[in-house]
A = this chain, B = another copy of it.
């Protein structure tokens, strides 16, 4: 049996940094069954990736992901690249017998996602998608509470994931705005999170949807062409002048759940003043739960079982040792931030690899999320409700 879990990371931009930080911290705050080793990181440019490796403590930097995926000293491949490259990398990694941790959305198409799932299952490796918000302590607590019946039967789900970095028409082009690379815009980037939280929290599946995708600003200026790296893919290298935005700025849809609940979903990068406002409110027959990432340590909870004159939404500051993951961190009231969800997730993944157990959200979760995303897109073409394919 292995004496450690050796990690290879592909991607050295925003997500590469967030994942690196997680590997740095996980063993310092959690008791791991097997230690992890930060073996290799892969980027597009050797100098850049070497500097990144040195800074975050990766043993080596590489520029060929196929080589990294095949390397003998790698147990876990972590995929932090744009969506169009998830499938080839993850499938190659699984075929090489590596466990795979992949950024969301799992793939730009349901077909790709299902092939990734099939490859991971065939290889009997651990597979996980990084829906990081599941592991904010307040969100994990919400999941526990719903499972415990705290709000009764779930009837209505409201999700809004609001950002504003594209509200200004002068905000520049990037690979994230090119459909061929990113797959979609706010829809795949933000609704993916919202859909995953809905599935996770309710334990239910979305079966039908109808929606609308909207691009308010149809062309934007390319930055001066200095963009490069795996994180950037090739989409933005050397581009000049105005570029065509081929993805949605905003994506809204209605949903029906298998269990009878209904939901509204909105993702946008045009909600002026909202920075990372990933919010849900869930109405159940006996109570409600609400959460918003911008104040991520707080879970709002209303219980109709409280005495009639003392009911109200509670602001649960989920920083107590009794709350999920918190005992690894700081005392009550010493709040956590964005990065802690990543560390908590990496902890669960490493423990699952060490024990051979299950870990979620896995590639089936990732594929089912893509199935919902795709059905919304299909509904915008048909103008009518669309059934969501169920991924087995």
Interface residues of chain A, those whose CB is within 8 Å of chain B, are 14, 18, 20-21, 24-25, 27-28, 55-57, 141, 144-145, 150-151, 155-156, 158, 160, 162-165, 167-169, 210-212, 214, 216, 250, 252-254, 256, 260, 262, 264, 266, 268, 270-277, 281, 283-288, 293-299, 301-302, 304, 306, 308-317, 319-320, 322-323, 330-340, 382-385
Quick check: B311 and A266 within 8 Å, CB to CB?
A: no
Chain B residue with the shortest CB-CB distance to A251: B262
Q: Which residues of B contact A338 (CB under 8 A)?
A: 330, 334-336
Additional A-B contact list (9), CB under 8 Å, known A18-B330, A382-B384: A28-B55, A151-B272, A272-B287, A274-B288, A276-B335, A299-B312, A301-B312, A308-B320, A309-B320
Quick check: A155 and B270 within 8 Å, CB to CB?
A: yes
Within 8 Å by CB of A276, from B24, B283, B334, lies B334
Distance between A93 CB and nearest chain B CB, rounded to angstroms? 25
Quick check: B212 and A256 within 8 Å, CB to CB?
A: yes
Assuming the A-B contacts A155-B216, A316-B311, are A254 and B256 also in contact, with contact meaning beta carbons closer than 8 angstroms in the complex? Answer: no
Max chain B Cβ within 10 angstroms of own Cβ: one of A57, A163, A254, A256: A254
Q: Which residues of B contact A150 (CB under 8 A)?
A: 310
Q: Which residues of B contact A337 (CB under 8 A)?
A: 330, 334-337, 340
Instruction: Tell me whether chain A's interface is mostly helix, strand or loop, or mixed.
Output: mixed
**Complex Cα–Cα for A383 and B169 (A):** 35
Distance between A237 CB and nearest chain B CB, rounded to angstroms? 21
Quick check: B270 and A252 within 8 Å, CB to CB?
A: no
Copy number in the complex reads 4
Within 8 Å by CB of A310, from B145, B211, B262, B295, lies B145
Within 8 Å by CB of A333, from B272, B294, B304, lies B294
**Complex Cα–Cα for A254 and B255 (A):** 11
Within 8 Å by CB of A304, from B27, B260, B272, B314, lies B272
Distance between A301 CB and nearest chain B CB, rounded to angstroms? 6
Distance between A378 CB and nearest chain B CB, rounded to angstroms? 13
Q: Which residues of B contact A315 (CB under 8 A)?
A: 312-315
Chain B residue with the shortest CB-CB distance to A56: B28
Q: Which residues of B contact A296 (CB under 8 A)?
A: 335
Assuming the A-B contacts A256-B212, A316-B312, are A332 and B165 also in contact, with contact meaning beta carbons closer than 8 angstroms in the complex? Answer: yes
Quick check: B313 and A275 within 8 Å, CB to CB?
A: no
Quick check: B310 and A275 within 8 Å, CB to CB?
A: no
Assuming the A-B contacts A262-B214, A383-B384, are A314 and B310 also in contact, with contact meaning beta carbons closer than 8 angstroms in the complex? Answer: yes
**Complex Cα–Cα for A281 and B164 (A):** 14
Quick check: A333 and B277 within 8 Å, CB to CB?
A: yes
Q: Which residues of B contact A298 (CB under 8 A)?
A: 295, 312
**Complex Cα–Cα for A214 and B302 (A):** 22
**Complex Cα–Cα for A295 and B332 (A):** 13
Distance between A107 CB and nearest chain B CB, rounded to angstroms? 23
Max chain B Cβ within 10 angstroms of own Cβ: one of A162, A293, A382: A162
Quick check: A319 and B275 within 8 Å, CB to CB?
A: yes
Chain B residue with the shortest CB-CB distance to A162: B283
Quick check: B314 and A312 within 8 Å, CB to CB?
A: yes
Distance between A171 CB and nearest chain B CB, rounded to angstroms? 11
Q: Which residues of B contact A57 (CB under 8 A)?
A: 28
Quick check: A250 and B262 within 8 Å, CB to CB?
A: yes
